[in-house]
Each structure stands twice: as structure tokens, then as C-alpha cells.
Amino acid sequence: MTRENALVTAQWVEDNLDTPGIVLVEVDEDTTAYDKGHIKGAVKLDWSTELQDQVRRDFVNKQQFEELLSGKGIGNDDTVVLYGGNNNWFAAYAYWYFKLYGHQDVKLLDGGRKKWELDSRELTDEVPSRETTSYTAQEQDHSIRAFRDETVEAIGTKNLVDVRSPDEYAGRLLAPAHLPQEMAQRAGHIPTAANVPWSKAANDDGTFKSDDELKQIYSDAGVDWSKDTIAYCRIGERSSHTWFVLHELLGQQNVKNYDGSWTEYGSLVGVPVVLGDEKGEA
Amino acid sequence: MCGAKKGGLSLDGVDVAKEAIIQGQVVRDGEPVGNAYVRLLDRTGEFTAEVPTSATGHFRFFAGEGKWTLRTLAPRVEPVDKLVHASVGDVAEVTIPI
């Protein structure tokens, strides 16, 4: 995967608003943002109610995902262009999720909703009606999803990239300042994990930095490009942003997103945890 | 100060005594800017949070004790930086002209 395949510009989206076979999908942390205005033709995806199992902590299953996309009017052959607020955090999460269930043609709008708004491009409150499809998903592709045991085994052997803020990494905070301080039982980070906050990869307007700049950032943080990589954050959405950078923009092989992330790891019994700004030993 | 209202943004339901609040309004020629983005950067310049302004140009952060930078992005203007000091139990009220 390369930048050209995975990312589209706001201008490209504007030029293709009426192109058949392209479906815009908005995914926001603030799930009411879409209702206040969205890009013409875009359908809404609610990450908290539609992409999460409402009983267990897990994703919706294959059949539920098929029903979801069919109901949204998204077909297997459609080009899905995802965008959202908060610098595309949840749009990147949905991108990874679509890939997890094997959708072939997915793209991210560079800069997301913010870039679109800063460009003074048009938003509408008109909700499109799309004909129901009969979507067929693939089994989950676990080559891009890490679970807890694999993450524990990766300590000292694979690249672990903690994309949370420095204060969360060091254990001074359990959640980003400004958001509710909740979830994990313990603060800190996984031993040997490099701290590369997701925001390092983005410009102020939410667009991604150049490939050369991105490579430099992760190299400086000690990422060994010859090794497999697992990215994590608190609940797996910011690390989807980093997974997108490493796997989709830079074309790095064997990059997984650990969606259990710190809310799971920081509540596990018996696993090693490091406090402070240093990576710690395996 | 229960129910206190500062700068037009209601603090109803907010326990001000426990929070270090930074809030305010983005204005252009005295008029509120409802399509701006305000970024909260920590003392090292690290991104901490970002919110879009409301229809009335308002924003609010629950920050921590210390110095912060507010970086405001809006259509057709260069980003505007403003330093602000937040203290627990206080509301740092900021007007950002762009």
C-alpha cells in the first residue's frame, strides 16, 4: 500500500462528489458532528454503537458487519472514502476496521473534516438515501490485529509503538488531558515501547506529514524497520492512525494495531509495566 | 460560584473547584467565529487536545495546572498562538481575535 492508494485530497473528494461507486463515510469521536453538517453524499458511521459489540468488549462480528454495510448502501466494489473529526482518529480506526474485514478499496481523506472546513468547502445537513446492498465481508484479517498475548510476547523482540501523549506514556495520566480519566487499573507503558505520539505524524491542519518526515520521526524514536511492529494507545483509535502511517503510507509490512491497548494491558494481572519517560528493559 | 457564568459559556454542572479550565471565544472583527479549531499544546509544544468552536465561537478545555498554548486555526488566516496559564479552581477566560 502507498500514499497514492490510501490517501485522497480534499480537492479529489470535491471533484468526485457525484462519481458513482465512491461512497463517503464520516466517522467522528463526537457522534453528533455529522448531524450538524457533513460532506454532500456522506453516510454516517457511529463507532461506539455500530462498530462495537454492545455486550462483549469486541468488534461486531462478520455477519453484523455485513448487515451494517448493506444497510448503509455500501457494496463490495465501492470505493469507500473515510473522513472525520479529531484529525481523522476514528476515520483511521474505521479504515483499519474495513481492512480487517477485507474491504478492498478504502481511502482516507487527508486532513479529514478539519481540512475540509479550513478550506471553506461546503457542508450539508441533507442525509443521503442509498439503496440497500448485500455486502459480503471476509473473515477478520488477524495479520493487522494484535491481541494481548502476542503483545506481551513482543516485549523486547518486536517494535512496540505507544502513540499516546508523553504524560500517558510515563504514567502521569491515565487518559489524554481533557478527556475523562478512566479505564485502566494501572498507569504507565509496556516495557521497550517507543513513545511516538500520533500527533507527530500530522500537520496542524490534520494532513499527514511527508513520507520522508514520517520515516525520520519513527527512526529517531528507535523503530527498527527490519522488525514487525505493534502499535497501541488507550482504546485503539489513535494507534489506528499510526498503523495507517506505518502500514499504508510507508508500506511497512507486518504492522498490527493492538486495539485492546492500554485499557486492556493496564488492567492485566502479572504483566510488566514501566513508569517514567524511559522505555524500560525487557 | 455554583452556576457561575463567565464569558458567555455556562459553567452549570462543572465542578470548577476541581478543574483547571481554559475557555473563551474566537472572534473576527468582533464577530464570533463558529468554524475555527482550537488546539491545546502543552509546555513542550506537544499536542494535547483540539476542539472545534461552537456556533457562537466558544471553546473549553479541561486542562491541568500550568502553562499552555492555544493555537487557533480558521479559514483564510494564519494560525494564531496565545499563551495561557491554567490553575485548578480557576477559569482562564481567553478571547482570541483572528
Whether B25 maps to a domain, the answer reads yes
Residues of B in contact with A179 (CB under 8 A): 49
**Are residues B68 and B41 in contact, defined by beta-carbon separation less than 8 angstroms?**
yes
Burial class (CB in 10 A: 0-12, 13-18, 19+), A201: buried
Helix, strand, coil tally for chain B in percent (to 5): 5, 55, 40
Domain range enclosing B82: 16-91
Residues of B in contact with A197 (CB under 8 A): 46-47
| CA nearest to B34 within chain A | A117
- Nearest CB to B49: which of A33, A176, A205? A176
pLDDT band at A178; cut points 50, 70, 90? low
Q: Rounded to a whole number, what is the distance in Å from the CA of A141 to chain B's nearest CA?
A: 32
For B33-53, the pLDDT digits (tens) are 998 999 999 988 888 889 999
Give residue B6's pLDDT.
Answer: 45
For A148-166, the pLDDT digits (tens) are 999 999 999 999 999 998 9
Whether B11 maps to a domain, the answer reads no
Whether B96 maps to a domain, the answer reads no
Residues of A in contact with B50 (CB under 8 A): 86-87
Q: Assess whether A142 carries a catalytic annotation.
A: no
Whether residue A44 is predicted with pLDDT greater than 90 in this model: the reply is yes
- Nearest CB to B62: which of A119, A178, A205? A178
Angstrom distance (rounded) from CA A261 to CA A201: 19
B63/A177 touch (CB, cutoff 8 Å), yes or no = yes
Which residues are within 8 A (CB) of A178 and not within 5 positions of it... i.e. 6 or more apart?
Answer: B40, B48, B49, B61, B62, B63
Whether B79 maps to a domain, the answer reads yes
What's the one-letter identity of residue A88?
Answer: N
Angstrom distance (rounded) from CA A33 to CA A268: 34
Whether residue B5 is predicted with pLDDT greater than 50 in this model: the reply is no
Whether B64 maps to a domain, the answer reads yes
Whether B6 maps to a domain, the answer reads no
- State the complex-level ipTM: 0.83
- Phi/psi region, residue A27 (left: phi>0; alpha: psi -120 to 50; beta: rest), is beta
Angstrom distance (rounded) from CA A177 to CA A183: 14
Whether B27 maps to a domain, the answer reads yes
**Are residues A189 and A169 in contact, defined by beta-carbon separation less than 8 angstroms?**
yes
Which residues are within 8 A (CB) of B41 and not within 5 positions of it... i.e. 6 or more apart?
Answer: B47, B48, B68, B69, B70, B71
Which residues are within 8 A (CB) of B76 and not within 5 positions of it... i.e. 6 or more apart?
Answer: A120
Q: Active site residue: A6, A13, A193, A233, which one?
A: A233
Take residue A205 and report the three cell numbers written for it: 491542519
CATH number at residue B39: 2.60.40.10
B75/A120 touch (CB, cutoff 8 Å), yes or no = yes
Domain count for chain B, please give it.
1
* Predicted structure pTM score: 0.92
